Amino acid sequence: MEHTVNGIHHITAIAGNAKRNFDFYTKVLGLRLVKKTVNFDDPQTYHLYYGDKEGTPGTILTFFPWENIQTGRRGARQATEIGYSVPENSFDFWLKRFEDHNVTYNKVAEKFGQPYLTFLDPDGLKLELIASKTPDTRLPWETDEVKAENATKGFYNVTITTNKMQPTADILTGVFGYRLLEQHVNRYRFITDTVENAAIIDLVEVAGEVAGHVAGGSVHHVAFRVKNEEALMFYREKIANLGLHITDKIDRNYFYSLYFREPGGVLFELATDNPGFSVDEPVESLGEHLKLPAQYEEHRASLETTLPKLV
């Protein structure tokens, strides 16, 4: 069986206040809270997952909300922009919505012939809404205020800023199976043909850019999607053979993971489709209850008291 990397699985970022983060992503952007759990290494902190109805890979943005964390700084050796796919005629809706909710945004611009709208979340994380050149048939999560004709459908791309793009490009093409689709000045667009969506990685090369600082409002890591554990271990061997340090397989309850830092400095993860987010609660009630890793279950009463209330 041929193993493939199937685009973006999820992206994890860092936030400050948990309720502010929850309100922005569920109420303003209209995403579904797919899973409410805790950080495996810091159970006093939530790990919040937002996405579509089922938590489909390619739609999942996750956060570690650390109260009072300092603000990060965008720069080289970082994933600096997260792009969401939206319907072509939705920009007027989003511009009005951002005005109504005091969201910081820029006017609509174009990149590779596609209109896009840049905005910041409450912690300064840089996001983009992008009207795809090709039809995006994914079914979005709808809310009372954000209906399907305007809703985000999942990731379109992620942008990595780097001082030298070639070492990162070599991982994308030589290991993950991406190919260079197009280039404009110092932006290089790579795509995988294994999936229709969440398939694009942009590398922006800025030789003199100072390294960024990962903290509040920063991307922590980018996770790439593989089918199962067999594929995961296939890629582990491939990456280890390049001389890069890569972790052992880690059980994250909803997927199995490996982590390594690519030569450009960004933390990459490989994550499996299995077992999925409905392994511990039905799809209909995803995100409604606090779900804890087994090692923290004995501390449930304490954690439910100390973790911030979201609603």
Mode of pairing for the β-strands spanning 187-191 and 250-251: unpaired
pLDDT in tens, 65-102: 999 999 999 999 999 999 999 999 999 999 999 999 99
Give me the tens of pLDDT residue by residue for the chain, a chain 311 residues long: 689 999 999 999 999 999 999 999 999 999 999 999 999 999 999 999 999 999 999 999 999 999 999 999 999 999 999 999 999 999 999 999 999 999 999 999 999 999 999 999 999 999 999 998 888 999 999 999 999 999 999 999 999 999 999 999 999 999 999 999 999 999 999 999 999 999 999 999 999 999 999 999 999 999 999 999 999 999 999 999 999 999 999 999 999 999 999 999 999 999 999 999 999 999 999 999 999 999 999 999 999 999 999 99
Q: Which domains does the chain have, with CATH numbers?
A: 8-306 (3.10.180.10)
pLDDT in tens, 163-197: 999 999 999 999 999 999 999 999 999 999 999 99
**8 Å CB contact between 50 and 25:** yes
Q: Which residue has the tokens 């990162």?
A: 168
pLDDT in tens, 46-66: 999 999 999 999 999 999 999
Provide the pLDDT for residue 1.
62
